Amino acid sequence: MTPFDEDNKKPFVDPHPKHPEVIYVHNGTEVIVVPCRVTSPDIIPDLRLHSPTPVVFSQKQRDWDPKRGFLVTSPSFEFFSGMLKCVTVVDGVTYTSSYLPQKVEERIRNLVLKATPQKLLVGETLHLMCTAETFFNGRIVFDWKFPKGKVHKPVKALGPKKEQKYEAKAGQKMLRLAWKVDAFPRPNVTWYKDGKLIAENSSCYELDPLKYRLVIRDLRAKHDGNYTISLSNTKHGLYENLTSHLVVLGEHLI
């Protein structure tokens, strides 16, 4: 048993007159304790719902235990609608202790986690946003955990170790020259033919930097030569050149 330490100047054992104590109520809790314990079994406070004009709380399913406080079962809507106060008067002086019931709703729906960007390098900033919906009067508590995972570092483009070789016949309508590239972050891409820059608006070539591909239409003997794709990432000091050799075969003379 817990002995009482009677003190008329302190009727509540652990009073909260100015800043309310939060009472977390989990879904499925059968008995909610408003812990306004008193220092004397003769003190029986009122449980009030704090409002501009405080009124006695109308919750019927409640019991009073001077060693624990008010025991509330099946709380109604108004129980969670504002701040509760235990109020008692001793020797003409009014004493209060405040509490704020907060329902912790464990049921959630439409949980969405967004990461921006989805890939990044060591030292870059990752933005995470987690949203979810809960039920009325519920509050979602997010518990963030950061397991160790794959870390991206700047890497060079991957291509064939040996020079690629293409053969095509003059007059062929189209030929695609493609390079296998696996690079993060995405590099800047430029193409060269025999060391000369291929302009983006060239009428002879179609440049596809997203697929690391160059398209030649209406092949002619002039298209014969070495084609180089130049990959660069100046921020991280990464550069890579991959070259393919094209042989254009002419028609046989009879």
What pLDDT is stored for residue 214 in this prediction? 94
CATH number of the domain that 212 lies in? 2.60.40.10
115 and 81, same structural domain?
A: no
What pLDDT is stored for residue 137 in this prediction? 61
Domain that holds residue 78: 21-104
243 and 168, same structural domain?
A: yes
111 and 100, same structural domain?
A: no
181 and 128, same structural domain?
A: no
Say whether pTM exceeds 0.75: no
Q: What would the mean pLDDT of 58-71 be, rounded to a whole number? A: 84
Q: Is the pLDDT of residue 80 over 50?
A: yes
Q: Is the pLDDT of residue 204 over 80?
A: yes
Sequence-distant (≥ 6) Cβ neighbours of residue 143 within 8 angstroms = none
203 and 176, same structural domain?
A: yes
- Over the chain, what is the mean pLDDT? 83
In a domain, 4, yes or no: no
235 and 216, same structural domain?
A: yes
In a domain, 156, yes or no: no
Judged on CB neighbours under 10 Å (0-12, 13-18, 19+), 62 is: middle
What pLDDT is stored for residue 252 in this prediction? 46
Q: Last residue of a domain, which of 91, 126, 141?
A: 141
In a domain, 14, yes or no: no
Q: What would the mean pLDDT of 29-34 be, rounded to a whole number? A: 86
**3-state SS of the chain?**
CCCCCCCCCCCECCCCCCCCEEEEEECCCCEEEECCCECCCCCCCEEEECCCCCEECCCCCEEEECCCEEEEECCCHHHHCCCEEEEEEECCEEEEEEEEEEEECCCCEEEEEEEECCCCECCCCCEEEEEEECCCCCCCCCCCCCCCCCCECCCCCCCCCCCEEEEEECCCCEEEEECCCCCCCCCEEEEEECCEECCCCCCCEEEECCCCEEEEECCCHHHCEEEEEEEEECCCCEEEEEEEEEEEECCCCC
Q: Number of structural domains, the chain?
A: 3
What pLDDT is stored for residue 150 in this prediction? 62
In a domain, 8, yes or no: no
What pLDDT is stored for residue 34 in this prediction? 94
Q: Can you tell me which residue has the tokens 């907060």?
A: 102
Percent of the chain whose predicted confidence (pLDDT) is above 90: 39
Rounded distance between C-alpha atoms, residue 76 and residue 102, angstroms: 13
> Measured in Å, how far apart are the chain's first and last C-alpha atoms?
117
170 and 213, same structural domain?
A: yes
In a domain, 85, yes or no: yes
119 and 96, same structural domain?
A: no
In a domain, 37, yes or no: yes
In a domain, 66, yes or no: yes
What pLDDT is stored for residue 79 in this prediction? 78
